[in-house]
Amino acid sequence: MHILHVVGARPNFMKAAPVCQAMAEAGLRQTLVHTGQHYDDRMSAVFFDELGLPKPDLDLEVGSGSHAAQTAEVMKRFEPVVLDRRPDWVMVYGDVNSTMAATLVCAKLGVRVAHVEAGLRSCDRTMPEEINRLVTDQLADLLLTHSPECARNLAREGVDAAKVQLVGNTMIDTLVRLLPKAESLWPGLKTSLGIDEGAGYALVTLHRPSNVDDPERLAAIVAALEEIARMLPVLFPVHPRTSAQLRAHAIAVPAGVILMEPQGYLRFSALQAHARLVVTDSGGVQEETTYLQVPCLTLRANTERPVTISDGTNRLMGENPRDLIPAVSSILAGWTPSGRRPPLWDGQAGQRIARLF
């Protein structure tokens, strides 16, 4: 059995690492293809090193571009790989452009596709990721879900239930495995950042176009962060997209908001684990904070991960950045989430997937 894995962007790496490891332990033949959708070392190479992913067998070096250009370039460069390597299965992860592009190629070549993290839905087709999810799940042959509502989403779309397997969350596998290593970095990280654990801090991540591409909205978010910074320190590892927008529109970040370079997986995990609260628009962070039982405020009108609200520690804040301020106040006044970790978010999802092959 020959399994070919396709990864393209930072979130894919955390999802693929446990599957690759479990399949290696099972003795399966594997090929790892990096499309190069994320090519900045801060968003790509460092994660291969920290996650223990093997060096990619092939790097397609697609780079950036519009959604259409990037998707087309992945398809052009990936098709010859499939024809040459002739895998039995292609594994795709998440909802990035590389995921949909690789699935389209395989569907037309008659190569079976397994989609890890299938069935997530925000029901918002203005999100490019939602289009990628819908297309991928209609074409994939095996849909590997991380929570029960995903199967219900797929059933509504007419997907054959025989194709769907609930396996758990491979991103949590990675967190469980590497959290002790991340914790070992905490004393030095705390000292270097001057963190007072008694006061705590808010950790912020923002990268979605809906939040950062509109200068008025981005300025409003920064203004809300300034008010939050009067309540507790704010640490803000800045995604390259967000950093570019702050510079392009000359949006001044107040002194109380500490801007940081994008963090590697281990450092960011340590920062999440010790945060008083997290403000984000990232799907993966919603999941990780749920596992870590850290309050999470998601600055979006919707989420494709409702299990992090029903079972976890996530609160959906909507589109008004000022709504963050009373939410932070309530957390600091003693509100704590009563959530639990969803079933099968236990560090064993990679093994469950490997056993299917």
pLDDT for the residue numbered 266: 95
pLDDT for the residue numbered 49: 78
pLDDT for the residue numbered 281: 94
Is residue 311 within 8 A of residue 286, CB to CB? The reply is no
Supply the residues annotated as catalytic: 207
The yes-or-no answer to whether 2-169+345-355 and 177-332 have a common fold is yes
Question: Other C-beta atoms within 10 Å of 310: how many?
Answer: 13
pLDDT for the residue numbered 46: 67
pLDDT for the residue numbered 42: 55
Beta bridge partners of 113: 90
pLDDT for the residue numbered 339: 80
Superfamily of chain region 177-332: Glycogen Phosphorylase B; (3.40.50.2000)
User: In terms of Cα–Cα distance, which of 309, 297, 301, 319 is closest to 340?
Assistant: 309
Domain boundaries, the chain: 2-169+345-355, 177-332
Residues in the chain where the model's pLDDT stays below 70: 38-47
Question: What does DSSP say about strands 112-116 and 29-34: parallel, antiparallel, or unpaired?
Answer: unpaired
**For 81, how many CA atoms within 13 A lie in the half-sphere containing its CB?**
22
294: alpha, beta or left, given left = phi > 0 and alpha = psi -120 to 50? beta
Phi, psi of 84 (to 5 degrees): -80, -45
End-to-end CA distance of the chain: 8
Cα separation, 219 vs 223, whole angstroms: 6
pLDDT for the residue numbered 336: 82
pLDDT for the residue numbered 351: 98
Span 2-169+345-355: which CATH code? Answer: 3.40.50.2000
Model-wide pTM > 0.85:
yes
Is residue 122 within 8 A of residue 114, CB to CB? The reply is no
pLDDT for the residue numbered 44: 57
